Structure 1
């Protein structure tokens, strides 16, 4: 790997401390102790290198200190990131191979490095120590601009400085990496949609990134019971205690409260964590929110059940008219039956109309759900659609002796709509009201203008709708309790909702519960002018 220079510091303060002998003088020992202490307290690589340069100048008059790293990582430096001369790399290789300090008192007379490697200009002498920095090959070189033969005490002081400096730089690199890892972990914890947690050996929460989901994470430390749903706490505790005792992976599903107070289903996955001495230090795990997936699965199961109920209802509704038709065919084969053919054919005609209406509704809903309905919209009087719907639904209303009230505003109430489709929507609502209102009950139709909205209310004093059914009353295949008239297929109200929304409107239901009646409210964009004025 190419060796890169990290930093080179030129200049420094302090006077040179020289001397003779094989060991540093007492003042140098004191200075080295001070240097080691200060180097151990620096807060950055730049500060460590600057301090190393300062002490090297003080004890030996060195003009520069260079840190050489044999890795490809980009590191900051005190003053420069220029690559050093090939000569210094060659000298570092020599020192590393021989595991000794390279001392070159005069570059011009150096025999340690091959002569074909050019000597750098501006350098008179070098002392270089090969070492390791955070497990990676490195070297620290002290440079003089002029030739200099370091004395034994100077050399010893420089070696002490180099090792103290490398230790300080290694510590700083470890601290930097640790800080980077901690920062990365914290950011991942905040960014992750998953819950990340860790427990101690006793199973208490030591860490959880719940702060971005449910307030202060410290508030929940050590308190599984405060996070878990009361119904899940005991089973979770038993299962987790067993996983801790066996030091096995742990998987569980439980409910935890989110920041909005709602209970969320989470799938928990955790692995045991080994301590430095090989013992058990706890579990580290994540918890993935599966609430939406569970709700979607339940919705699919409910839709499947409603589909099965719909098919059963459809089969029943189609079978009902077939029985009288079959009886009529049987009777027509006999002489007495032929004399009553006209009356019998009326029965067949009525039952066939019922079948045709069922099939038409199915085809209509299929076209709506596939987006194949094309509206023929034009300015129209809303009263015309309501009167047409009343005429269509009148036979059922009169057969149940319902009292029908129609209240229209004094001014013309106009919308831009498809007359046939809006009549179809209001007819379904009237049929629904007649079906679920006891004989002799009341049905009230009210139309009014509310600002720029045309509002139609169709209310009855019939059976009403339970709260659990109101939430899904407009879902396909949803059917209420059996009413007074023929049963429906659960497609009428979804059809109303779709047709109203195609006109840019909305439909809503109001009911105080079973036995309290129902009110369906349709809101459509109103026009300011009548159809005649528009034309």
Structure 2
């Protein structure tokens, strides 16, 4: 094959063939035949380029791709398919063996339909990876036809849809749980409506005092049940839309448990359960919403009572472990199946063994409990060895500092011993600083006054106070700047910083905490608040009130800034 240039400067490819001819007279001749094959060569090059593009595309596509001849032999397999199956060669039997056994009958139908009808065929199959894991794939094959319309081969692709299938399954399951929940809701709403209706019908027939009193009692009880159901639903809605707000305060754990037991104890007695209660030490305090925590504790206790057969045993213990207050409720009840444990806190998830409809309720108590405890920076865990083996519920909540150090301060607190403190008061209002200084001195503490930021730092360096009550609105350096500088000085790391300001919003408290303050007072500060603060610092425990008399917790550990 030779490249020639024509008279009109075109490049052509010529296929040249020559043959030597000899005649009888001994004369030799050469016969040369030239044929223009330019178009054929261009076609060959185009085919090679097309083949190269196809292979590059097939190797780069995030799918498994193959080509099968009419007699079922694999003529091309991309690297992704070879890597998935863990084999460099590919036979029809290899592909069939990789299909999940439950899907192989559909695979045969898929093959037959794709052969019988020269069109695109598709289906979904589970395909085994080389490590044994099955994943879902969307498989599609299409015919490649010759010029006369006969099939030359089939091209197949398999796209991984495993995550999509899992998501679809989860949606179907969630929708089913929702339907079951709505059915339960309808059932639970009808339960109290029936006796209310009967009571009203009875009053139409007989309005005697005895009948009226009984009807009123029935209606009151059932209305309370309806209200409880509606409140549970509203709570779920508020929590899932982040609209619930906790009303935090410093509360005693023992008091919360006592209130929660008020509803559980009568139920336990009626069911002839043995109830063992070990209350926490009276010094265990929690910073949380008392009403919401009682709601959680009551739900856990009532579940233990309801799901324990008559004559069972329930133990309630509470104590401090490290920095956490821990409440444990154990019962000898019906237990929970292992496969149900991971789903207990899911919305709308209901297990027949733990949500027996005969006990009433919507079965969303644990969902509420889980969300509420999380909002308190705690955790709730449910354990069970299986059906018929009881349940163990553990709730952990962070304690306030007083609970953590009670063992260390018990003796001084018991004897009433106090040590005089060194207190620095910083306020640009001279009258306010002096009056607060007189109050602190009258309590037996040593005081030093300062009226601006730089003076406050100088006094702190020489006086080395235990407590600094620091006004935020200072001249030259504001209170935040002074606090940050104090926290940079190693000799003053121990100082309890109390912010004094007329601003008392959450944002102001956040800024104070970030600047290094331990306590936030909102003006006007009360004498009681100052006394309580100094008393707490002297005893080495946490101050638990603010200037307005509201229980609160100290900001806690914070970085030195």
Q: Scaled by the length of structure 2, what TM-score is found? A: 0.58
TM-align CA RMSD: 4.0
- Shift in Å at residue 168 of structure 1? 11
Could you say if the C-alpha distance between residues 168 and 479 of structure 1 is closer, same or farther in structure 2, counting changes exceeding 3 Å? closer
Aligned 8 A contact 1:214 1:259 in 2: yes
SS at match of 2:343: coil
Q: 1:114-133 maps to which residues of 2 (within 5 A)?
A: 130-131=10-11
Aligned 8 A contact 1:435 1:485 in 2: no
Q: 1:96-495 maps to which residues of 2 (within 5 A)?
A: 99-100=6-7, 130-131=10-11, 182-186=55-59, 188-189=60-61, 192=62, 194-205=63-74, 206-210=76-80, 214=84, 216-218=86-88, 222=92, 223-258=94-129, 261-274=132-145, 280-333=151-204, 337-408=208-279, 412-481=283-352, 483=356, 486-495=359-368
- Shift in Å at residue 372 of structure 1? 0.9
| Mapped partners of 2:542, 2:339: distance in 1 | 46
What is the CA deviation profile of residues 221-257 of structure 1, one whole-angstrom value per residue up to 9, with x for unaligned ones?
Answer: 5411232101212330342144135443221221113
Aligned 8 A contact 1:379 1:530 in 2: no
Aligned 8 A contact 1:252 1:269 in 2: yes
SS at match of 2:230: helix
- Shift in Å at residue 464 of structure 1? 1.5
5+ residue gaps, structure 1, are 1-32, 40-94, 102-128, 134-159
Aligned 8 A contact 2:248 2:287 in 1: yes
Aligned 8 A contact 1:229 1:255 in 2: yes
| Mapped partners of 2:323, 2:210: distance in 1 | 61
- Shift in Å at residue 465 of structure 1? 1.9
SS at match of 1:463: coil
Could you say if the C-alpha distance between residues 174 and 334 of structure 1 is closer, same or farther in structure 2, counting changes exceeding 3 Å? closer
| Mapped partners of 2:152, 2:321: distance in 1 | 67
Aligned 8 A contact 2:114 2:141 in 1: no
| Mapped partners of 1:172, 1:455: distance in 2 | 78
Q: With CA pairs under 8 Å and 6+ residues apart, which has the higher RCO, 1 or 2?
A: 1
What is the CA deviation profile of residues 254-301 of structure 1, one whole-angstrom value per residue up to 9, with x for unaligned ones?
Answer: 111346644322221110134699753432122233344344334333
- Shift in Å at residue 327 of structure 1? 3.5
- Shift in Å at residue 435 of structure 1? 1.7
Number of residue pairs the alignment of both structures matches = 383
Higher-Rg structure is: 1
Could you say if the C-alpha distance between residues 196 and 361 of structure 1 is closer, same or farther in structure 2, counting changes exceeding 3 Å? same
Could you say if the C-alpha distance between residues 525 and 215 of structure 1 is closer, same or farther in structure 2, counting changes exceeding 3 Å? farther
Match of 2:382 among 509, 512, 520: 509
Aligned 8 A contact 1:266 1:287 in 2: yes
